[in-house]
Amino acid sequence: MSHLQTTEQKEPLLASSSTQEAPRFQRVKVSILGRYMLSDRREFPCQIIEMSPGDAIFIAPASGIEGEKIIAYLDEIGRIEGPIVGSVDGGFIVNFSATPNRREKIASQLTWLANKDLLDLPEERNYERVVPDNRHSAIILDDGRKYSCKVVDISISGAAIELEVRPSIGTKLTLGRMSAEVVRHFENGIGVQFMTPQEMLSVIQQNLRLA
């Protein structure tokens, strides 16, 4: 059970420049980096300074308008999305569109982040990543465009691939024979998350091959 409170909060932890209802969950102070995409598909880096399982305060170079839906990929948290509900100095507030199970997972991640320094907790480890035997594959975008790519590494949850194009975060695609979604960018390529986590790395290597 999460240690984050889910009771009503009398005042938000950070005052907004617009009138806001108090968040349904209590925010905790964090420092989480990520990227976000506005509805016009422009992408920018961001930093989360306070977050709860239901909302977050973004410090960001470009603010959308109230009610605009954004998609973000945050270190340690993953993909979140939802509408902008207000502004703060240097950024904005986003309410998450998430299932109860997803909110519970976010609550657990935030509890760990809030307590890791205090309790000297070890860093959480992601799924094991390995370099596949055959690094050559291809991606197909939803509109049918196809590009050759080189696989940097794989895990049962996703892959890093070197690619000549740069699909936006949130773009759905097929890597080999696996459905995936773009969740991050790096200098020479993209990171994708499989829509359905795979059970074995050997199966992923087979599915990297085109049918």
pLDDT value at position 75?
Answer: 78
Whether pTM exceeds 0.85: no
Residue 79 identity (one-letter amino acid): R
* Residue of 147 and 129 predicted with greater confidence: 147
pLDDT value at position 14?
Answer: 38
Residue 25 has pLDDT above 80, yes or no: no
- Here the CATH number for the domain that contains residue 172 is 2.40.10.220
Q: Is residue 45 located within the same domain as residue 111?
A: yes
Its domain, for residue 158, covers: 136-208
User: Percentage of the chain surpassing pLDDT 90?
Assistant: 28
Residue 21 located in a structural domain: no
Distances from the Cα of 34 to the Cα of 46, 60, 158, 166, angstroms: 5, 10, 18, 17
Residue 129 has pLDDT above 80, yes or no: no
Pair of tokens at residue 69? 């839906």
Q: Give per-residue pLDDT as tens, 131-180.
A: 888 889 999 998 899 999 999 888 878 888 999 898 988 899 999 989 99
Residue 171 located in a structural domain: yes
